[in-house]
Structure formats: structure tokens, C-alpha cells
Structure 1
Amino acid sequence: MEYQWLIDRVDSIIVNRSKTVILAFLLVTVLFVGGLGSITTESGQEQFIEDLPSFQAVEDINEDFSASFSEVTTSTTLVQASTNVLSKGALTDMLATRERIINTNSLRVESVSTPAVTVAETLNPNATTPAAHLRAVERATPTQIDAAVREAAADDAGFTSSLSDDFNRQSASATSSRGSVSHLAGPGEGSGGGPGGGSEYPPNKVDRIKSVVTDDASNIWVQGTPPDTTGTTTSVVLPAALLLIIVFLAVAYRDPVDIGIGLLAIIMTLLWTFGFIGYVGIPFAVLLIAVPPILIAIGIDFGIHSINRYREERVTGLGISESMMRTTDQMSVAFAIVVGTSAIGFLSNVVSAFPPTQDFGIVAAVGIIFTFLIFGVFVPALKVTVDRARQRYPIPTFATTPLGSERSLLGRLLSVGVIVSKRGPLVFLLLILVATAAGGVYATGVDTGFSPDDFQPAEETPEYLQYLPESIRPPEEFEYVRINNYLDRNYQQDSQVLMYVEGPMTRDSALEEIYRASQSPPETFREERRQAEARSIITVIEDRAERDPEFRALVNRNDRNDNGIPDDNLPQIYDALSTDDSDLSGFLGEDRRSAQVIYTVDGDAEDDVVTDDAYAVADRFRTTAQPTGSVIIFDEALSLVLESVIQSLILTLVGASGFLVFAYWVIEGRPSLGLVNIVPIFVTVVALVASMRAVGLAFNAINGTILAIAVGIGIDYAVHVVHRFADEYHEQPLYPALQRTVVGTGGALTGSMLTTVFGIGVLVLALNPALGAFGILISLSVLYAFLSSILVLPSTIVVWARLTESEGVRLPVIEAITGTDTAESTTTD
């Protein structure tokens, strides 16, 4: 397939019409700037689980089982801590705080629930107002309060679940309690959680509640909504990445003008990518924070290779135009191969079960195409224009030599892989094969995880972040996380499984079906008298029947088997329930074609066991029943993490291998060179996963893309080496071609590796710990890819040459043991 005419045409435009190219790229940049104002943000774990069937069931439950004309509410958590939160002083603190909260109109309070209210109503059953509750406790003696606490604990399971694990019924004491404030949301406010959603309404509710807290005998903490660290993380990571990159560019280029060209190209790349995000409406979520450092690192890699190769030609005495023509002639092909394989790696994430991961793959793939265009076309055009201006005007030139030479220390270090390939490539590759196989076995033990904690920052922020400007400075401590950690340490409660049942609930057997499904429950389900502990329309009926003789008689008349569950005239039963304040809407859909059952399950049981048991109970329903709840949602998400990792890795390896084989068949007529390209990537992937297990990192929704990224970025290094070798091999014997390849390209690879490792490594500064680990993993994958390309690839190439050449290439084995270097005399025809 003839392609050289296209490359020659592009080379000619870059060199001969450089100013036109520059102007065109600047105009496109202005166009993409227009999309920046349309960027939206999204945070939290909901974005990863919103497409799961169990999460959809939660959405259906929220839609079906809420009062028709009720207002949307938001909530705030109150946590009280003291030596004894059930003492008179602590109870008085909470009840006085509750009264003030209710009387603060701006908080739009619907209700405030707290164990202190239960104690007050136990002391005085006639107390119905906040003021009466407070008086009941203030007038009681400590002995009376202790007796009321013990009575409440015996009669109300909800009371004890609101107290810390150290609650002692005998002494009527506990060190902590928790309650909640329910707020009426304003017009147009949604109920969605997370920053920016309805859960933040009313505005500044946490600060307003804190201003009315009474804490004379205890501490009362107010927990609002999870912190949104996306903006702060971006503000910290990008400047840090740019600062580190400037340092490494200074080392690689040693010329301020070339550094300026590189920085301008980086800024343009980011503007194009962010503009694209805005125009297509992809929300900027936590995973997309990793895209800018990735594109910056790849762009710098392209820039260093391009400038370094151009300088290699210039030092031979060639002019500006001819040097750049030779540079772009070679580098555009290498860049195209890198872009193709990297894009395949990124796009493999579209098969992920998580929408943010799919968005990440699309944005990263589009971004690397933008990077190719800017660094492959715009940068050479600008470099040519600047160097021509230097010839006409007294603009100083600080450095014109390439990075790395055969006589330099870097050149000698880079030659280690070539030396090994001369003395014993087969022995070395066999050792690598054994090590990789062993690492692969070890890597199979890597864990997977999916938890809300993956999306939360650490409780305390690093001290160095407090030196940032106030506008982007994070708080010293995230109070939400601190309170959350406190609750995790001090409270142990049962979890819940919600069962969303779809079907005509007016059918005679509808309630009997719910009743039978709850009999003899699985081990993880709490039970009482061989019946699952649950709340449903049945418990609403039982509660009403217990206190209303007329309704009880109606139930008995329609209960054919005398088990207390009506199985006839159900519409009449429901109509009777609707006449009082029974919580019918919480368990029966308005159209009476769906129902909700809330089961209590063991909070200490493994999530996967609870999920299996929940689906076993769902199978007992004749109608459609979908179990859901946080336990099931996150367990299902966890099972999809590893599935997504494996699918994207397979797609990446197969797609990249096929692309490389095709590319080298077209370019060199040697498709087997594509397979040579893949060898270092297998080593890199195995080493990376083994490292994850060694340091205790698990695959999660954020770093689940890491293997596809490792292939997509890491293959960059192997491509540069193999493509440069193929060019050199046309003109030189095997080992001289290898030596020139590794020293020439290796210098640029070293600079690229350093900028990438440190440029992406700055993600460790991210407030989200999972994102920090993600940055470390990408940096490790790049480091491993660099080392395997420099050390493993030369021996692989020698073996390839022996297998594909009919004669003239020997594989030295004895030299690896004796140290006798006969490989220098090896030639190829």
C-alpha cells in the first residue's frame, strides 16, 4: 500500500506553508475555547452505578413509594458525643438544639429525629412539642431518666440503633447518638445527592445549624453532604504537572524558545480537549481529572522526539527545511502508530459497565488525536518558523544538540540492553519469560473493590496544601469524612435489602405471595419465628389491625386461611388503609401495581453472600422482584470491575496487536515486527498487576482502566524503538542499527519517561486517594514500559532477526556465560 505521497504532502505543507499552518491551528483553538463555558461537573459514586438494574430499582422505588403530593426533602445528620449522651445534661443539650433548629425558619425543617425525643416521650407520653420534650427531661430526676432509657430500649429497636455500640442498657449509658434533620426543599430543588444536588438545600444549612447548637454538656456535630474535591484537585494537579514538566523540558530542550513552543502546544491540546468535552456535553467527572496529565505527558513525549530527531539532523549540517522534512517523514509515521494503538487502548473502555469510564475512554482517545495533530503538525511548523526567524534576526540559540550520545553517560546506560542482546539474547529472554510467568501467577491474586470510600478524600488534608491560595485551598479537615469515619468506628447496625415487586397488588394472592417469600429466610436475613424481619404493606395492615377493631374485623372477613394476611377484596383493604395516617405510600405504588418490601440483614455478612441470598428470596416471588439496596448495588458494581478490566485488556491487546501487524505490513512489509512490539507490553502489564498486589492496591471503578491505559501509553515506547530500528536496519547491519536506535531514540525516551512519570505522578496530590493511586499506577506502567523497551526489546529484535532472516544472524549463547564477545562480528545480508 503506497502511503509515502501523503506523508510527503504533509511534510511539504509543514515546511513550505508553516505560517498558514500556524494560523489555521490558532483559529481552531479559538473555536474550541467556545466550548469551555458549557462544561458541567459530576461527582460521587452514583455516576458509576446509575445503569445497574439494582440502582434502577432504587430509582423506581423512590418514584413509586412517595406520597403523591409530598414535598421533596433533604436531610442533615446530627451526631452527639459525650461521656454519656443519655445523661440529663446531654439530653437537654440535644433537645434545646432541636428546638432552636425547628424554630429557625431559614432551615425549612419538616422534622428532627433523635433518641432524646424518645426518652422525653417515654418520660411524658403527652409531650408533643419541642418545648414539652425539653421540659419533660429538665423536670425528671436522673433515676427517672435511666428508667425511661431502659424502657425505650426494650420497646423500640430504632432507639438502640441510634446509639453507639457501647450502649449499656443496665447503666443507661452510651458515648454517642445520632439523629437527622429533614428539610423541605425549595422550588425546583431535586432530591439527588452529591454536590450541587438538592441535598445541599437549604444553602449553608450546616453552618446555620452549627450556629444554634447547644453543647454545654456534650459535643454536637453536623454532617452535611460529601465534599466535592474535583475543582480543588484539578487546580492543584494541573499547575503541579505543568511546573514539573517545565523543569524536565528545560533539561530536555535546554532552550527557552523550544520550551515555550512545547508549553504553547500543551495549552492548545488542553483547550481543544476541554472544548470538545463542553461541546459534546460530557460531564467532567473525577476520572477525567487524569486525562489532562495523560495528554500533557504524551504531548511532551511527541515534542521531545520531534525536536530531538530534528536536532540529530541539524548537527549533521543539514538546513532547516531538509532537517524538518526528514524529521516529520519519520516521526509522523511513528506518531500515527502510537496514536492508533493508544486510541485503541483508550477506546476499549467503552465496553465498561460504568458510564464515567466510557466517557474517559472517548475523551482520552479524542484527546490523543488532538495531541497528534498539534505536536505532529503545529509544533514542527512553529519550530521551522522560529528557526528561520533566528537566521534573519539576532535571536539567541541556547542548545542545538540532541539528548543523549554514544559517548555520554546516558548513552552508555541505554546501551545495556544492546550489550545483553549481543552476548545472550535467548538466555536473557528465557529469564524474562520465567520471571513474567511467575509474576503472572502472583498477579492473579490481585483484589477488586468498590466502595463509597473510593470517592472520598482523606479525613485530613496534607499540610503543604494549606500554602495554596485561599480560592483553591482545601480545608485542613473534611468534617464530613471525619464524622463518617467516627460513625463507622462506633456504630454497627444491620443493613437493609429492598425488594421492588412489580405486579398487580390487587390480585387476591398478592399479599400471600409476599408473606410466603419471607418464610424460612436465608441465614443472612434477620428472622423472628421463622419469618424474615421485614417492613411491607403487610406490616402496615398488621399495625392498623392491632389498634383499630373495625379494620381488624375487615381483615378477618377477607382472610380465608386465618393467618392474618388478607387474601380477598384487597382493593377494599387498601381503601380502608387510606382513610387514616397509615404509611401506605411507602410500601404500595399509587397505581397499586408495585410494592416494596424492606428486609433487615446481617450487617457483618459478606456482600456477595447477602446478594446471593437476596436474589434467592426474589426467586420465590411469582411476579417480577428486583432486590436492591447499597449492599447489592456495590456488590454488583464490584463484580463488574474485574469484568470490565478483563474485557478492556483483551480488546486492547487484540486491537493493538492487529493494528501493529497491519501497520508494519504496510510500512515495512514485515508484519512480524508488530508482534515484536507487543512483547514489552506483556511484560509491563504483568509487572504492573503484580506490583498492585504487592502494595495492596485493588482494582476499583477508578483504576479499572489502568491496564488498557498501560497498553495504550506503554506501547508508545516500543513503537518508537521498533520504528527507528526498522529505518536504521535498511542502511546498517543488525547491531549497529540497534546501537544507533537505542542511543538516539533512547535519549528522547528517557526525557519522555521522566516527564510522563512525574507529570502524571502529580496525581498523587489529588485529594481523592483512589485518583492518587491511579496516578501512581500510570507512572509505574510508563516506567515499566520504558525499561522493557530499552532492556527487553533489543534481545527480542535479535531473536526476530534470526527467525525472519535466512542467513547472516546468529544467536550467541556461550558468550553470555564466558563473556567472549563474538557478536560484534555478526553481520546480516
Structure 2
Amino acid sequence: MDYQRLIDWTDERIVERPGRVIVAFLLLTSVFAVGLGNVSTEAGTEQFASDIPANDALEAINDEFGSSFAADTGSTQLIQRGDNVLAKDQLLYMLRAQERLQEKEDLRVSSTSSAARIVAQTLDPEATTLEGQIDAVERATPTQIRSAVRQNADNPGFTGTLSNDFNRRSASASATIGVVTHEVPGAGGGGGAGQSGSSPLTDIQLQSERVVDTVGGDITVFGSGITAAEFSNVITDSLLIVTPAAVLFIIFFLVVAYRDLLDLLLGSFALLMAIVWTFGFLGLAGIPFSQMMIAVPPLLLAVGIDFGIHAVNRYREDRQDGLGIDEAMTEATDQLLVAFFIVTGTTVIGFLSNLASDLPPIRDFGIVAAVGIVFTFLIFGVFLPAAKVWLDRKAEAYPLPVFSQSPLGAEGSRLGEVLRGGVVVAKYTPVLFLVLALVASAGAGWYATDVDTTFTQEDFLPPEEVPGYLQQLPEPFAPSDYSVVATLNFLEEKFQTTQGGSVTVYYETRMERDTALEEIHRAGEDPPESFVSEDRRADSESIVTVVQSQAERDPEFRRLVQRNDRNGNGVPDDNLGKVYDRLLESPARDQALNYLAEDRRSTRVVYSVSADASQSEVTEDGRMVADRFRGGAVATGNTVVFKAVSDLIFESAVTSLALALGATVVFLIVIYWILEGLPSLGVVNTLPIAVAVAFVAGTMRLLGISFNAFTATILSLTIGLGIDYSVHVVHRFTDERREHDLFTALDRTVRGTGGALAGSMLTTTFGIGVLVLSLLSVLGQFGVLTALSIVYSFVASLFVLPSALVVWDRFANDDPSVPMGYPNESPTDDPTAGRTVATDGGSE
């Protein structure tokens, strides 16, 4: 394949028409800049649960059951705290808060409920409005209020809104929850802490906060809208903190690497272009910006910095050898475009391996990162060299400031001597060192087999308390005040029961079948260990329990049930249509519709589970109980959905790793076969990456970091980013080996390319490492692991790869003391034709 013709065509445009190249890239930048305005955000856990059967069942439940799940309503929780929220003044705070919210027409309040309303109506049964109930409480004495509270001590509708420290005798509790229901199209009836990144209730609940603040008392407004707002804010705040910190680190190391103002400005502008292009593509393609996308800018900076340093460093070497601007850039790009293409190909493979994931956000992340890397290749492979030529010509014509132009890692420098360590080892004990490295990698890989996999809503929530050093940041970098986690922790502490949660079985069937209710009743017999039970029957709520409860309260309904109960167990198994009709005409109608769909073709059964049961146990037992139903039943609930996502995360990590590693090996074998006629170099090229992947995985277990929604991509990402270092070393080595003996070629490779790699490694490690400053702890873990993967890849490429190349060379060349001829070159060819032969310690 005559790839050189394409490279020569590109070289010609860069050197002979740099102005046109610059204008073309600036025009493309303006096009992508338009897309920046179309970028939308998406946050939370729902994005990961798409198309999972358990989540589909959960969504069906939210659509089909009960007034609280109606598609046109949503609810706000009013969480009240105090020494005694059942005291007179506290009851009035809650009633007045609900009244003021109801008076605001734009809040679309359709109903309110609270313990305060129940107490007020007990005091005055005729008080059906909030105004009347406020009057009733104001007229009552403390003794009357305590009496009203005690009268409701056995009322689940009353005690269910109180904290678990409710005391019947003293008529006191430290917390209560009131509910305000809004008519909001698209709210989906959610009333709790939403998981989505946006909510139609957000504006309503933010306005409700301001209204409630005027009432007095300690009342917190909470709901899906508040949670959605904080989900969105944590992305913005993290970007505002991480991005400037990354820029500061990057500028510092770029100053060290470039040591020239014009080159620094040019490299920084190219990095900005890569970001604009990538996120402009995000908007144009309609891909939402999720929490995972926060990692994309640092990744692009990592690759862009590497490309920029290599391009400028190699050009400086050729200039130092006495070549002019045009000749030096032609020689530099002639080599670098090939190396950049190989790096881009392998990096794109690493990112696109995430397309095998069943989780949409991970697939989107893979696509955007891969597209961003291609953009980075074009910008740093074509635009930056053209702009460098244009600037250097202007520098010759005008007195522009030019500082140090010496390349990194030049011969005689301290950095160059440090980088030679791998060559020294390779010269004396390559086989032993290589064996030790492989054994250590195998050990790290084995150690990593016990890395956990997790997926929880807490991964996507802001911290309960923002670290003090971040609170000291000036505006606009200071993070917002976050309350969601503190509120959730408070609810868990004050309203927890001996139960640890629930599992819901969603059952699609014709509910008027005679055996429908008997099937539900029998499914609860002999429950699994994680289910809460009494007398070997699961603690559950269903249409069966609603029927039984109504039968206890209503003698007429009880007689109807008994007439249609053939086996006398209290569960009707005949004329179920009539039983439902009568039930839906009773005061239990709303409760019944929580478990029976209006079309009577589906139902749900909620089973309580133990607090100490693990996610895996709950999910397995829930699925086992669902199998007891006669087909069509699905176990669901947050625990089950999160476990399903957790399983997919692990599958994604393993599958992406296998695909990335396999595809990278094949790609490199083919590329080196085409370019050099030596496919075995492709295998050697991947050896350092295998070492880096093993050590990254081992470090995850050592640091207690699990595979989660963010770190699931880390292994394939290590391949995508880490291959960069080994590709540059191998590609440079093949060039040097044509002109020098084995160890001279290695020495020149690690001093030249190694110098640029060292600068790139330090810059990108600190640039990505700033993710530890993110308000999302999982994003900080991702930043640590990504930074470590770069360090491991650099060390493996500079210290393990030389030994591998020595071993490889012994099989590929009869005499290591002489330059090596390559299969693609005929004996009569000039080995330097069309290639760059460095005469001094150079770099790619």
C-alpha cells in the first residue's frame, strides 16, 4: 500500500499552503461552535437503566398504578423537624406552609396531606379546608391536641408520616413528612428523590422552597425536582472546578515542555479547538452531556498534549540539525503522521470497544471520546504543523519573541540519562527482566479478580458536605450548597423500619381470572431468606391485602368475599370482577388502584426485605418469587434494577477489555505488516499495555475502587491511551534501527522519544488527575485510575518495552551489531529514501 503518497500530499498542503489550512480549520471550528449551543444535559441513574427488563417493569408500574403514579401529577415532600412536630406551633407551621403553597396558582397544587391535617380534622371533623384546619388548631388547647394525636396512634395514614421515634404517650415525634401534589403534565407521578437529570417539577419545587421559607419552622422542601437540580448543578460545579485546575497544571507543564510563548499559545489554542469540535459534535449529534462526559475534556487534553509535544519536539530536532522551516516540518510530519495515525487507530479502538456495552451512557461516552480523538489527530497532525510553519515564517520576517527551541531529552541532558535506565537493563538482562515483568503482571491480574462491581444512586449525588478547601474558592468557582444527600440520610435515619426495603413483582395477566388472587397469595408462602416473613408467609402488600383489609372494615364487603371464597382462606377465587367493582366503589379505591391496573390486566406485589440482605440476595430471591407466578411476572424495584445495571457494568468492563485488546493486537499486526513488513512488531507493541492493564486492575482492588458507571471503561481506556506511549517508542525504534546497531537505536529512541513522552506523561497525569477535585467521588476515582494508567503505560514503554524489543530483535535480525534491513526494502533501495534519518537524539 502506497501510504507515502497520501502523506506527501498532506505534507505539501501543510508546508506550501499553511494559510489555507488554517482558514479551513477555523471555519470548521465556527461550524462546531454552533453545536455548543445545542448541548443538553442528562444526569442520574435512569440513563443507565434504559432497556433493562426490570426497569421497564418499574416504568410500567409508575405508569399504570395508583393516583400517586398518574402521568399528570407529581408531588413535593415537606420534611419538618423539631423537638416535637406534633406540638401546636409546629402543626401550624406545616398547615400554613401547605396553605401558602396552595394559594400560589402557578404551583398547580391539587391536594395536600400531612399529620397536621389529620390532627386538625380530628379536632374539628367539619374543618375540611386548610383555612378551617388552621382555625381548629389555633382554638385547641395543648391537651386537646395531645388527645387528637393519641386517637390517631393506630392510624397507618397518620403514623406513616411520622419519624420512628413517635411516642404515643407523650404525643411527640421529632420529624414528619407532609405531601403536596401538583398537576404537572409529564411529571410521571414521581414524588421521591428522582433519578433523572431533569424534572418538570424543578421550577415548582425551587419556587416552593422560597414560599416555605416565609412560614417559619424547620421545613425542608424535597422531591424529584430538587434532586434533578442538584444532579445538574454537580456537573456544572465539577466542570468549573476541574477545568481551571486542569488548565493551570497543563499550562505549567506546557511551559516546561515548549519553553516558548508562541508554541505555548499555539498548543493551547489547538487544545481548545479539539474541545470545541468534540462538544460541538455532541450538540449537533444530539448526544446529551452526562456525568461521564466530564471525563472527555481531560482525555482529549491527554492525547492532544502528547501529539503537540511530539510535533513541536520533532520539528525542533530537525531544525537543530540545520534544516529550514519547510524541510524540517516536512521531515517531522512525514514521520509523525504515521505514528499519530497508529496512535489514533488504537485509541479509537479502545474507546469504541465500549459500544459492546448494553448501557447507553457508556456507549455514548465511547462514541464521543473516539470522535474527539479523531478530531485531535486532525488538529494536531495537520492544523498545528501548518500554523507552526506560518508563525515561524512570520517570526523570521518580524521581531516576534522566540525563546528556547531545544528538544526535550537531548543528548547529555539529565532527563535523557534517567530515561536510559530501561536500555541499560535491556542490554544486560533482557530475558530475566521481561520474565519478572510478566510474572508480576500475572500476579497483579490474579489479585484483581476480586474487584467489586457496584452501582448506586449515591454515585451520582453531590457530597453531603463540600470539602472546606473547595468552599474557600471565589465565585464563580465556589460550589453550590447541596442538601439532597443530607436529606436522604435524614430520611433513612428517622423513617427507617426494621425492613431494609422492598422488591416489587410486576405481573401482567388477566386479573379477573378466578385463580389470579390465589396465585398472588400462594407466591408469598415459604418466602426466601432475604424476605421479611411471619408464620412462613412473606410480608407483602398487594391487591390481596387490600381486599382482606377492606373485608375487615366493611361487613357487607366481607360477605361478598366469603360468598366467592371457595376454600375459605380469605382470598376470593370466583366472580373477581364483582369483587373489584365493589372494592373500587369503597373508600379503599385509591389504595386498590395502587396494586391493580385500571384495565385489570396487570398487578404489582410489594415484598418487604431484610435490612441486612445484600443487593445480590434480594435480586436473586425476588426473581425466584417472580418465577412462582404463572408466567409474565418480573421482579423489579430500585435494588433489582441497580443490581442488573451492576451486572452489566462488569460485563461491559470485561467485554470492552477483550474487544479493545484483541482489536488493538489485530490492528497493530496489520499496520506493521503494511508499513514495515514485520507483523510481529504489533504483538511486541501491545506487551507494555498488557502490563499496564494488569497493574491498573490490581491497583483498583488495592485502593478499594470498584467497577462502577465511570470506572467500567478504565481498562479499555488504559489500552486506548497507553498504547500511545508504546507506539511512539516502537515506531521510532524501527526508524533508528535502520541506521544503527541495536543498542544505539534503543538509546537514541528512549532519549529522543522518551523525552517527549515524559513531558506528555507529566502533563496529562496531572491534567487528568485533577478529577480528584470533582464533587463526584466516583469521578475522582476515575481520575486517579486514568492518571495511574498513564504512568504505568509510560513506565512499561520506557523500561519494559526495550527488553521486549531486544528479545524480538534477536529473532528478527542475525547480527544486532549492524543496522537492520527491513523486508519492505529491496537491497538496491536507498534505505533513507522517503524517510527521516535522525543524526542526533531526536523525538517523534
| TM-score normalised by L of structure 1 | 0.91
Compared CA separation, residues 636 and 553, structure 1 to 2 (3 A) = same
Describe the superposition over 1:776-810 as per-residue Cα deviations: whole angstroms up to 9, x where unpaired. 21111111111111111111111221233334479
Equivalent position of 1:454 in the other structure: 459
After TM superposition, the structure 1 stretch with the greater mean CA deviation from structure 2, 583-592 or 32-41, is: 583-592
Equivalent position of 1:110 in the other structure: 110
Task: Say yes or no: does 1:264 pair with 2:269.
Answer: yes
Equivalent position of 1:211 in the other structure: 213
8 Å CA contact 1:190, 1:197 repeated in 2: no
1:563 to 558, 561, 569: 569
Quote the Cα distance in structure 1 between the aligned partners of 2:352 and 2:700: 23
Task: Say yes or no: does 1:511 pair with 2:517.
Answer: yes
Give the C-alpha shift of residue 179 in structure 1. Answer: 0.8
Equivalent position of 1:60 in the other structure: 60
Task: Say yes or no: does 1:500 pair with 2:506.
Answer: yes
Aligned to 1:214, what secondary structure does the other structure show? Answer: coil
Describe the superposition over 1:57-76 as per-residue Cα deviations: whole angstroms up to 9, x where unpaired. 11111222245996722233
8 Å CA contact 2:205, 2:222 repeated in 1: no
Equivalent position of 2:443 in the other structure: 438
After TM superposition, the structure 1 stretch with the greater mean CA deviation from structure 2, 495-504 or 460-469, is: 460-469
Equivalent position of 1:26 in the other structure: 26
Q: Which amino acid aligns with 2:488?
A: N
Equivalent position of 1:223 in the other structure: 222
Give the C-alpha shift of residue 242 in structure 1. Answer: 2.3
Compared CA separation, residues 548 and 491, structure 1 to 2 (3 A) = closer
Describe the superposition over 1:208-262 as per-residue Cα deviations: whole angstroms up to 9, x where unpaired. 34324332xxx33333422022222223322332232222111111111111211
1:485 to 472, 483, 489: 489
Unaligned segments of structure 2, at least 5 residues = 819-844
8 Å CA contact 1:186, 1:202 repeated in 2: no
Compared CA separation, residues 557 and 545, structure 1 to 2 (3 A) = same
Describe the superposition over 1:504-539 as per-residue Cα deviations: whole angstroms up to 9, x where unpaired. 112222222112212222222233444322222223
Compared CA separation, residues 807 and 180, structure 1 to 2 (3 A) = farther
Quote the Cα distance in structure 1 between the aligned partners of 2:301 and 2:412: 31
Quote the Cα distance in structure 1 between the aligned partners of 2:150 and 2:677: 86
8 Å CA contact 2:451, 2:706 repeated in 1: yes
Quote the Cα distance in structure 2 between the aligned partners of 1:498 and 1:86: 33
Q: Which amino acid aligns with 1:782?
A: I
Aligned to 1:204, what secondary structure does the other structure show? Answer: helix
Equivalent position of 1:588 in the other structure: 596
Aligned to 1:11, what secondary structure does the other structure show? Answer: helix
Give the C-alpha shift of residue 190 in structure 1. Answer: 5.8
Aligned counterparts, 1:727-738, within 5 A: 727-738=735-746
8 Å CA contact 1:101, 1:212 repeated in 2: no
Task: Say yes or no: does 1:722 pair with 2:726.
Answer: no
Equivalent position of 1:197 in the other structure: 199
Quote the Cα distance in structure 2 between the aligned partners of 1:10 and 1:297: 24
Aligned to 2:204, what secondary structure does the other structure show? Answer: coil
Quote the Cα distance in structure 2 between the aligned partners of 1:198 and 1:317: 66
Task: Say yes or no: does 1:368 pair with 2:363.
Answer: no
Equivalent position of 1:407 in the other structure: 412
8 Å CA contact 1:190, 1:198 repeated in 2: no
Aligned to 2:450, what secondary structure does the other structure show? Answer: coil
Aligned counterparts, 1:578-727, within 5 A: 578-581=584-587, 582-583=589-590, 584-727=592-735
After TM superposition, the structure 1 stretch with the greater mean CA deviation from structure 2, 557-566 or 325-334, is: 557-566
After TM superposition, the structure 1 stretch with the greater mean CA deviation from structure 2, 357-366 or 695-704, is: 695-704
Quote the Cα distance in structure 2 between the aligned partners of 1:803 and 1:502: 66
Aligned to 1:670, what secondary structure does the other structure show? Answer: coil
Task: Say yes or no: does 1:772 pair with 2:771.
Answer: no
Quote the Cα distance in structure 2 between the aligned partners of 1:436 and 1:165: 52
Equivalent position of 2:833 in the other structure: none
Compared CA separation, residues 641 and 203, structure 1 to 2 (3 A) = same
Quote the Cα distance in structure 1 between the aligned partners of 2:673 and 2:178: 67
Aligned residues: 804
Quote the Cα distance in structure 1 between the aligned partners of 2:188 and 2:329: 58
8 Å CA contact 1:801, 1:809 repeated in 2: no
8 Å CA contact 2:74, 2:181 repeated in 1: yes
Equivalent position of 2:383 in the other structure: 378
After TM superposition, the structure 1 stretch with the greater mean CA deviation from structure 2, 33-42 or 359-368, is: 33-42
Aligned counterparts, 1:270-281, within 5 A: 270-281=275-286
Aligned to 2:201, what secondary structure does the other structure show? Answer: helix
Aligned to 2:37, what secondary structure does the other structure show? Answer: helix
Q: Which amino acid aligns with 1:25?
A: F
Give the C-alpha shift of residue 310 in structure 1. Answer: 0.7
Quote the Cα distance in structure 2 between the aligned partners of 1:18 and 1:339: 23
Aligned to 1:732, what secondary structure does the other structure show? Answer: coil
Task: Say yes or no: does 1:301 pair with 2:306.
Answer: yes
Give the C-alpha shift of residue 423 in structure 1. Answer: 2.2
Quote the Cα distance in structure 1 between the aligned partners of 2:178 and 2:678: 69
Quote the Cα distance in structure 2 between the aligned partners of 1:678 and 1:36: 37
8 Å CA contact 1:525, 1:533 repeated in 2: yes
Task: Say yes or no: does 1:552 pair with 2:558.
Answer: yes
Equivalent position of 1:819 in the other structure: none
Equivalent position of 1:750 in the other structure: 758
Quote the Cα distance in structure 1 between the aligned partners of 2:527 and 2:118: 31
Compared CA separation, residues 26 and 103, structure 1 to 2 (3 A) = closer
Quote the Cα distance in structure 2 between the aligned partners of 1:27 and 1:612: 56
Quote the Cα distance in structure 1 between the aligned partners of 2:599 and 2:68: 11
Aligned to 1:497, what secondary structure does the other structure show? Answer: strand
Aligned counterparts, 1:129-278, within 5 A: 129-130=129-130, 152-153=152-153, 155-157=154-156, 160=159, 162-167=161-166, 173-174=172-173, 176-186=174-184, 193=194, 194-202=196-204, 204-215=206-217, 219-224=218-223, 225-226=226-227, 227=230, 228=232, 229-278=234-283
8 Å CA contact 1:109, 1:183 repeated in 2: yes
Describe the superposition over 1:72-117 as per-residue Cα deviations: whole angstroms up to 9, x where unpaired. 2223333333344455554554445445444555543334444445
Aligned to 1:554, what secondary structure does the other structure show? Answer: helix
Quote the Cα distance in structure 1 between the aligned partners of 2:521 and 2:315: 79
Compared CA separation, residues 165 and 568, structure 1 to 2 (3 A) = closer
1:789 to 797, 819, 824: 797
Task: Say yes or no: does 1:577 pair with 2:583.
Answer: yes
Equivalent position of 1:12 in the other structure: 12
Give the C-alpha shift of residue 627 in structure 1. Answer: 1.2
8 Å CA contact 1:74, 1:201 repeated in 2: no
Unaligned segments of structure 1, at least 5 residues = 811-829
Q: Which amino acid aligns with 1:484?
A: L
Give the C-alpha shift of residue 607 in structure 1. Answer: 1.5
Aligned to 1:78, what secondary structure does the other structure show? Answer: strand
8 Å CA contact 2:43, 2:198 repeated in 1: no
8 Å CA contact 1:185, 1:202 repeated in 2: no
After TM superposition, the structure 1 stretch with the greater mean CA deviation from structure 2, 520-529 or 260-269, is: 520-529
| TM-score normalised by L of structure 2 | 0.90
Equivalent position of 2:824 in the other structure: none
Quote the Cα distance in structure 2 between the aligned partners of 1:90 and 1:515: 42
Quote the Cα distance in structure 1 between the aligned partners of 2:68 and 2:206: 29
Q: Which amino acid aligns with 1:207?
A: E
Aligned to 1:587, what secondary structure does the other structure show? Answer: coil
CA RMSD, Structure 1 to Structure 2 (Å): 2.7
After TM superposition, the structure 1 stretch with the greater mean CA deviation from structure 2, 373-382 or 18-27, is: 18-27
Aligned to 2:625, what secondary structure does the other structure show? Answer: helix
8 Å CA contact 1:456, 1:769 repeated in 2: no
Equivalent position of 1:356 in the other structure: 361
